[in-house]
């Protein structure tokens, strides 16, 4: 994609995010990564009359590895203060789960994360209709006290919902202090710290993230009082257990967020060779009718678990009920107001 086209896409995004003349926007990058994103957003914001700035952090040392919730901003309090003074931060690093992001949001700065490939950003541009579907889902989820998830593979899990807020992701952000991720299109919350019990069976075709692989042999998770107590299966189960044990942090076995996807433009099959443009897998997190459960940190919801050991696992063919009312049935949206023509 040429830079002119990318700028036009970023311009459309900033309009969806309510950017207007006089607002202060900062684009955050690191080292040599995504400098073209900064150029495109800077040009787009200037066309809307915004005051545009580019903050570029030093490169990560070659021996360093990216970890959930750890950012270069941790050692730069002055940079954090500058970001807190902006109306909007365009995060091209991925600050999610970090204390720095939470402090920036608490100041009233709204944040848009944009790290996926430009081709994917273009194909999954946010729409008014997507936002409406997600907000309807969020309203239903906010009222619910119990979520139950089942599947033909044997999943049967209950989440008690009395503690954590509901998060709506629709790929743009126009409210102070709000975060979103472009692309996205789903709604989620977290179960009570001791209120998740049952069995998840991750079946063939379900997805492991951040591994970015499709499961071929079932993985059975046993959950008791909000903690994974057992993981069994074949090769992929062994891979998951090895990955989690490498963090040497038992909090990685905690249950994180849970919800369902609503983006009809997201493709379940998009990680097959020749289709996957790279990135961190926001498309499989968002595809229409998926049910996704996660393990590890819940601090983005205000919880106490800030472990760096995090997995997102989108499932196909599940049914999800809120207070016994069907929301997703066999991998399709059951609520008329959230359905799309197919």
The SS3 assignment for 220 reads strand
Question: 319 with 194, same domain?
Answer: yes
In angstroms, the CA 72 to CA 60 distance is: 8
In a shared domain, residues 93 and 168 = no
The pLDDT, as a whole number, for residue 270 is: 86
Provide the CATH number for the domain around residue 42: 3.40.50.2300
Assess whether 203 and 331 both reside in one domain: yes
Q: From the CB of residue 127, how many other CB atoms can be counted at a distance below 10 Å?
A: 17
Q: Is residue 310 a contact partner of residue 97, using CB atoms and an 8 Å limit?
A: yes
* 82 in the same domain as 135: no
The answer to whether residues 111 and 144 belong to one domain is no
* Same structural domain, 305 and 181: yes
Provide the domain count of the chain. Answer: 2
Same domain as 222, residue 306: yes
On whether both 92 and 184 belong to a single domain, the answer is no
Query: Which residue, of 83, 115, 147, is where some domain finishes?
Result: 115
The last residue of one of the domains, among 115, 147, 164, is 115
Domain-ending residue, one of 68, 87, 115: 115
pLDDT for 65 equals: 47
What phi and psi, each to the nearest 5 degrees, are found at residue 159? -110, 125
- Per-residue pLDDT tens for 136-178? 999 999 999 999 999 999 999 999 999 999 999 999 999 999 9
206 and 303 both lie in a single domain: yes
| Residues of the chain with confidence (pLDDT) below 70 | 1, 61-67, 274-276, 342
Which residue range forms the structural domain that includes residue 265?
A: 124-338
**Residues 334 and 251 both lie in one domain:** yes
Q: Helix, strand, coil proportions of the chain in percent (round to 5)?
A: 30, 30, 45
User: Do both 90 and 222 map to the same domain?
Assistant: no
pTM of the model: 0.93
Query: Whole-angstrom Cα distance, residue 333 to residue 324?
Result: 15
Whether residues 193 and 330 share a domain: the answer is: yes
């Amino acid at each position: 994609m040429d830079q002119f086209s990318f700028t036009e896409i970023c311009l459309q995004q900033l309009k969806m995010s309510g950017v207007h003349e006089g607002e202060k926007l900062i684009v955050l990058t690191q080292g040599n990564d995504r400098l073209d994103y900064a150029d495109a957003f800077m040009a787009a914001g200037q066309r809307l009359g915004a005051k545009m700035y580019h903050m570029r952090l030093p490169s990560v040392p070659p021996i360093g590895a990216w970890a959930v919730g750890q950012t270069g901003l941790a050692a730069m309090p002055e940079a954090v203060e500058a970001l807190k003074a902006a109306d909007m931060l365009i995060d091209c690093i991925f600050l999610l789960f970090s204390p720095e992001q939470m402090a920036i949001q608490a100041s009233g700065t709204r944040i848009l994360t944009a790290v996926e490939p430009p081709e994917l950003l273009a194909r999954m541009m946010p729409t008014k209709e997507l936002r409406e579907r997600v907000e309807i889902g969020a309203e239903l989820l906010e009222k619910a006290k119990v979520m139950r998830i089942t599947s033909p593979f044997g999943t049967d899990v209950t989440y008690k919902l009395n503690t954590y807020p509901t998060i709506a992701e629709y790929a743009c952000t126009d409210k102070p202090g709000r975060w979103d991720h472009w692309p996205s299109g789903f709604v989620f919350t977290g179960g009570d710290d001791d209120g998740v019990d049952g069995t998840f069976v991750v079946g063939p075709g379900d997805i492991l993230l951040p591994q970015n692989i499709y499961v071929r042999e079932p993985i059975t998770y046993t959950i008791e009082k909000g903690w994974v107590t057992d993981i069994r299966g074949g090769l992929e189960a062994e891979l998951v257990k090895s990955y989690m044990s490498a963090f040497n942090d038992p909090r990685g076995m905690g249950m994180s967020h849970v919800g369902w996807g609503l983006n009809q433009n997201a493709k379940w099959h998009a990680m097959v060779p020749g289709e996957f443009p790279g990135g961190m897998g926001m498309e499989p997190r968002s595809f229409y009718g998926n049910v996704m459960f996660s393990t590890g940190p819940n601090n983005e919801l205000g919880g106490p678990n800030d472990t760096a050991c995090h997995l997102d696992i989108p499932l196909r063919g599940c049914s999800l009920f809120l207070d016994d009312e069907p929301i997703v049935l066999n991998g399709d949206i059951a609520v008329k107001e959230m359905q799309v023509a197919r």
